[in-house]
Structure 1
Amino acid sequence: MTEILVQVGTEEQVPSGGRVVDHPAWPVLKDAVERIRPWQSKDGSIDFDAEGAPDRGEAELAVRRVADSVEVLSPLLPHDAAYHEALTRDLRRWADEGFKVPDFLDSLLAFEPAAHREDGLQHLVVFPMYTQNGNPDRNFEAVVLRMVWPDWLAELERTRYDNPLFCGITFEDFTSGYDTNSAVLFPETIAVRQAPERFSWGGIFCDREAARFRRVTEAAVDILGLDLPDDVREMVGDQDRCQQAFVLWDMVHDRTHSHGDLPFDPFMIKQRQPFWMYGLEELRCDLTAFKEAVKLADDGVPQGRDVQYAVLFDRMFRFPVTGERVRNYDGLGGQLLFAYLHRHDVLRWTDNKLFIDWQRAPQVTNELCAEIEKLYRDGIDRPKLVHWLAGYELVSTYLAPHPGSK
């Protein structure tokens, strides 16, 4: 292991542009991170008095291997040089200060992937963090990823859907915290001494989204006896085509959180609301992406049609059966969409089979979007509690509430 690090220890010996995961230092780094993870407490610190804890020297060696491996791999990624320098300092400081609650604010501030949105560009990311919909503890994670930024997407972002912080990304390899349902890399999940005034990036793994969309849709179609048009069937069978749909959907969804007639702070992490309001907000963003996808399809953008299928199927088939069964706001949004389309005869469940009126689906889906937008616009003139109750009334119009929910 030491020989590997020494042999490639200078920048001249490691030309930029090679695949990080093919370099012998990557498995060294990954193995060292996996050794550290089970030693960490929920807050990311290491309690050396806990059962199964390593001795301090063993922990120091593992951290040194991570830092040394980052230094070896960094020349492959010159655009991340400042981040990797800050990262190795944060790693060594964490060890020198006794493996207390980690503080990686300096390296977080130095990591700026949105400043280098180039299709296929690699990044090597190491942080103590929790993974959304994955591991709730602030363990170390190491991820090699690539940026998804094709010319057509960059042009849409420049001309129609400005979103300077958005990063579409795909996995190259990852540690255990991402061997879960997590499909995002968000800066607010990282262990820091204090949150920055504003974050400068946010990443969504469109390859994971596309893969699970295909898997769930294929199963749902089989179970429900749904007859798919040839175009939809071809899309579901094509991973790359699905990734393109999801990266566009994600970009429009993400920007919608801060666009439109908003009666409240769109960054919902700063406040608490009833779960149905979170469900309406997420559905509003998805249906806005759907509405824009209809326009894009009319303008001849091929991904526009695919986004419509992705929103409908992911929302109706995956969201309602994923996650907890109580106060699952994403599940609620999916149920609301299904119920609305069923109420308006776009969906029919007859003879134990699901039928979709493909011609009317765009119009009626946009009508639900309009109802939610009206709720928001009217909410600007309402007290917060009254707005919440109006949201409850909208949802309960189409979904029967539990008798004890109000």
Structure 2
Amino acid sequence: MSNMTRVAVRTAVDHPLWLELKRSVADLRPLQAKDGSIEPSGHASARALVAEITSSITGLAPLFPHDEAYLDAVVADFRRWSAEDFGRPDFLDSLVAFRPEQDRRDGLEHLVVFPMTTQNGNPTRNVEAVLLRVVWPQWLADLEAGRYDNAMFVPIAFVDFTDGYDTDSAVLFPETVAVREVPTYTWGGIFCDREAARFRRVATAASQTLGLELPQDAVDLVESQQLAQDAFVLWDLIHDRSHMRGPMPFDPFMIKQRMPFWMYALEELRCDLTAFREAVTLAAEGVSTARRVQFAVIFDRLFRFPVTGGRVRNYDGLGGQLLFAYLHRAGVVEWADNRLTVDWDRITDAVLGLYDEVDRLYRAGVDRSKVGHWLAGYALVAAYVPPHPGSVWAKGPGALPMDGPPKALVDAVLPDEFPLSMFYEALNRRLRDVIASTKGITADSPVQGLAENPTERAAAAS
């Protein structure tokens, strides 16, 4: 299978009306409250800005004939919001009209304008405008059609964006849009270009800092935006559908369930390990991108996830800590003399070993109570990642409030139930600035290349 071939498409990014739309959205932002509404003192300014926004959208609409119904609806939603004095915005009609999953053509561009939060970005429902491009190479379309059916999955790449995406957000999800009622969701977008660029920058810095010697395939992956992007679209395709496969949970995304955060950690890790397992199978069948998916999963989970974000219920970070601890216990990764070494010949089997442990947890969970499953999940994590010394959960069921509602058990979880090890505390100090620098990163952002050998990389990092 070959890498994706870029299709020449007309783009709105240099159009004067796109620049005008961005300016109007930026000027509207300070007028909005957290829920997206606007106080009466700002109504006159907001009406003028909304008129500019709708005029820009209408002028740009001919560039997006495939989005005609959506763009008409979003203009109507803006005008209704203005006419109704800028209360909490309701863009349900336009959200329902936007259906990018129905036409996943590689290179197809969309203009998206909504009042919305941006996950891992801006928590306020500001109006945002995004120009994006669908990433749907033929080899990925063939895999989705033949064995990884996922009709809701829409991999996308940034063309341009307003301030809400000048953040760590790498997704476009319909559930972030301000609406009067929750519709049936039919799509989810993941910015594979940002994921790939962020991965490359952090993996490069981690390799240099740790003096880690990489196989040539891994070097090629880290040094190529295209190879990394291909790896992420395949990883995301399989990860996303894995939430809806397997014996548990019955609610695939655990939406609105309040449970200990390590259960979320195990679910996200399960989906990543499933993608890893499938990538092993695909690589054996000759899919070159699949080998790079394995490196991407390992590097992102080991190097970026544990030291990204705060330590309050950081479930993705915990999944990375668990993978590292499991591999370290197995002797596949070693930290000595300020250098990290990896037994590349054994790492695949070791990662699959952790997949088997998590899979057994899920299979047995069907027969457990909710609290019993939480306890079993805790036992699995704690077997490899030492809990906080002050943890009540670490003392076992006898110390927990077992005679009341499950809420009391969740309340007993410490914000940082599984603290970072000394290894990760040190790595966090070395990578903190690098990770911060990935805010707003795109495919065009520079990534310093790897030095020729680990000694040079370690010297460069010191």
Please report the TM-score for the alignment, with normalisation by the length of structure 2: 0.82
Aligned to 1:288: 274
Q: CA contact under 8 A between 2:134 and 2:157: conserved in structure 1?
A: yes
Q: Partner letter of residue 183 of structure 1?
A: A
Aligned to 2:371: 385
CA distance in 1, matches of 2:137, 2:251: 32
Q: 1:195 aligns with which of 161, 174, 182?
A: 182
Aligned to 1:8: none
Aligned to 1:233: 219
The alpha-carbon deviation at position 171 of structure 1 amounts to 0.1
Q: Partner letter of residue 201 of structure 1?
A: W
1:300 match: secondary structure: coil
Aligned to 2:16: 24
Aligned to 2:140: 153
Aligned to 2:131: 144
The alpha-carbon deviation at position 70 of structure 1 amounts to 0.7
2:75 counterpart of 1:88: yes
For residues 358-369 of structure 1, what are the structure 2 equivalents within 5 Å? 358-369=344-355
Q: Partner letter of residue 321 of structure 1?
A: V
Give the 4+ runs in structure 1 shifted more than 6 A: none
The alpha-carbon deviation at position 17 of structure 1 amounts to 5.1
Q: 1:303 aligns with which of 269, 289, 292?
A: 289
Q: Partner letter of residue 84 of structure 1?
A: L
Q: 1:77 aligns with which of 61, 64, 72?
A: 64
CA distance in 1, matches of 2:169, 2:16: 27
Indicate how the Cα distance of structure 1 residues 85 and 261 shifts in structure 2: closer, same or farther if over 3 A, else same. same
Q: CA contact under 8 A between 2:128 and 2:163: conserved in structure 1?
A: yes
Aligned to 1:135: 122
The alpha-carbon deviation at position 24 of structure 1 amounts to 1.2
Aligned to 1:248: 234
Q: Which runs of 5+ in 1 are unaligned?
A: 1-15
CA distance in 2, matches of 1:186, 1:361: 34
Aligned to 2:433: none
Q: 2:101 aligns with which of 102, 106, 114?
A: 114
Please report the TM-score for the alignment, with normalisation by the length of structure 1: 0.93
1:290 match: secondary structure: helix
Aligned to 2:407: none
Q: CA contact under 8 A between 1:77 and 1:123: conserved in structure 2?
A: yes
2:128 match: secondary structure: strand
Aligned to 2:32: 40
The alpha-carbon deviation at position 23 of structure 1 amounts to 1.3
Q: CA contact under 8 A between 1:17 and 1:77: conserved in structure 2?
A: no
2:383 match: secondary structure: helix
What per-residue deviation string (whole Å, max 9, x for no partner) do you get for residues 127-157 of structure 1?
Answer: 0000000001111100000000000000000
**How many pairs align?**
385
CA distance in 2, matches of 1:126, 1:326: 32
Q: CA contact under 8 A between 2:57 and 2:71: conserved in structure 1?
A: yes
Higher RCO (C-alpha under 8 Å, 6+ residues apart): 2
Q: 2:192 aligns with which of 183, 197, 206?
A: 206
Percentage of identical aligned residues: 62
Aligned to 1:269: 255
Aligned to 1:357: 343
CA distance in 1, matches of 2:338, 2:260: 35
What per-residue deviation string (whole Å, max 9, x for no partner) do you get for residues 24-83 of structure 1?
Answer: 11001111111111110000000134xxxx3x2221110011111111111111110000
Aligned to 1:313: 299
1:247 match: secondary structure: helix
Q: Partner letter of residue 31 of structure 2?
A: W
Deviates more, 1:318-327 or 1:178-187: 318-327
Q: CA contact under 8 A between 1:105 and 1:193: conserved in structure 2?
A: yes
CA distance in 2, matches of 1:229, 1:258: 34
Q: CA contact under 8 A between 1:36 and 1:62: conserved in structure 2?
A: yes
Aligned to 1:10: none
2:333 counterpart of 1:347: yes
